[in-house]
Amino acid sequence: MKAFVVDKYNKKGILRLAEMPEPELQDNDVLVEVHAAGVNLLDSKIRTGEFKLILPYRRPFILGHDVAGRVVRVGSKVRKFKPGDEIYARPRDGRIGTFAESIAINEADVALKPKNLSMEEAASIPLVGLTAWQTLVERASLRKGQKVFIQAGSGGVGSIAIQLAKHLGATVATTASAASADLVKGLGADTVVDYRKDDFEKVLSGYDVVLNSQDAKTLEKSLNVLKPGGKLISISGPPDPEFAREKGLNVMLRMVLRLLSRAIRTKAKRRGVNYSFLFMWAQGDQLGKITSLVESGAIRPVVDRVFPFEATNKALAYVETGRAKGKVVIKVR
């Protein structure tokens, strides 16, 4: 099968279009004919080697973390899916590879595709949808009447997180350019801060939750908008000791991550705020709940561009510009 692979870690390298073996189907796997694949900044970071200590992949490996497609075969222990089912998924770490014509995925990571979405629309959702769910529902326990600040509202995670937060009954603030203000308001944002003109820490205050997806400077400034007892949840780092424990990292890596996050953890503690790092994980049952929200109209995908499969490198380069509104998708079939 054709697939785009990483041969070596390189900040300026491109993915190689290669002929790869068909995926091996394990007992709990579904073999999926890939119709579309979402492109994420995580793909770029893995290609450059930024996560190689945490997520070691044996090269060459196929890149890609989002998929929508059709089940063509199932393993002997699979009970939830059958050939012909239209599904979508974020395959688990260690078994990624959606920039390909086929992929084998553990059935626990898979959900039925929303009936009201095209394959391209569905492929845009799994990673960012699960990130939003795990941040706002699992980690923050966001409730009706609370206030949440979601950074970069027109981005992949932001565009879904705003809609989920509104569904949960929260008041939502976000940052966006003037050109994207109407988009994020249409998604449900109550307050939009133009990051090119205004400083969000001088505009916002008394928030219960912040979803941070930006740099270290923005992370520190986010402390100022939270009320005592608030939660600062970062999906862009730095990783904290709890993450290191969950990942089962070695003692040396645990020490490194403890040092990297010590400054923000200390400042958060002084302010009576909880800091945590979230690295999203594959979860089919949670994705199934997102499917229900999509089918009910509570969440809709935001797709910026769809690239043909042979233009996968161009799609990744476009994501790296940071200008995409919502998600970028590759059409494989």
Q: What is the pLDDT along the chain (333 residues), one digit of tens a residue?
A: 999 999 999 988 899 999 999 999 999 999 999 999 999 999 999 999 999 989 999 999 999 999 999 999 999 999 999 999 999 999 999 999 999 999 999 999 999 999 999 999 999 999 999 999 999 999 999 999 999 999 999 999 999 999 999 999 999 999 999 999 999 999 999 999 999 999 999 999 999 999 999 999 999 999 999 999 999 999 999 999 999 999 899 999 999 999 999 999 999 999 999 999 999 999 999 999 999 999 999 999 999 999 999 999 999 999 999 999 999 999 999
> What 8-state DSSP symbol labels residue 91?
P
pLDDT for 81 equals 98
Q: 326: Cβ–Cβ under 8 A, 6 or more apart, which residues? A: 124, 154, 155, 156, 159, 301, 302, 303, 304
Three-state secondary structure call for residue 210 = strand
Overall pTM surpassing 0.95 (yes/no): yes
**pLDDT for the residue numbered 13:** 84
CA torsion, ordered 235, 240, 246, 250, to nearest 10 deg: 130
- Cα 139 to Cα 100: distance, rounded to the nearest angstrom: 33
Q: What residue ranges define each of the domains in the chain, with the CATH number in brackets?
A: 2-125+302-331 (3.90.180.10), 127-277 (3.40.50.720)
Tell me, what's the pLDDT at 12? 83
Rounded Cα distance between 103 and 91, Å, is: 9
Q: Distance between CA atoms of 64 and 145, rounded to whole angstroms?
A: 37
pLDDT of amino acid 11: 86
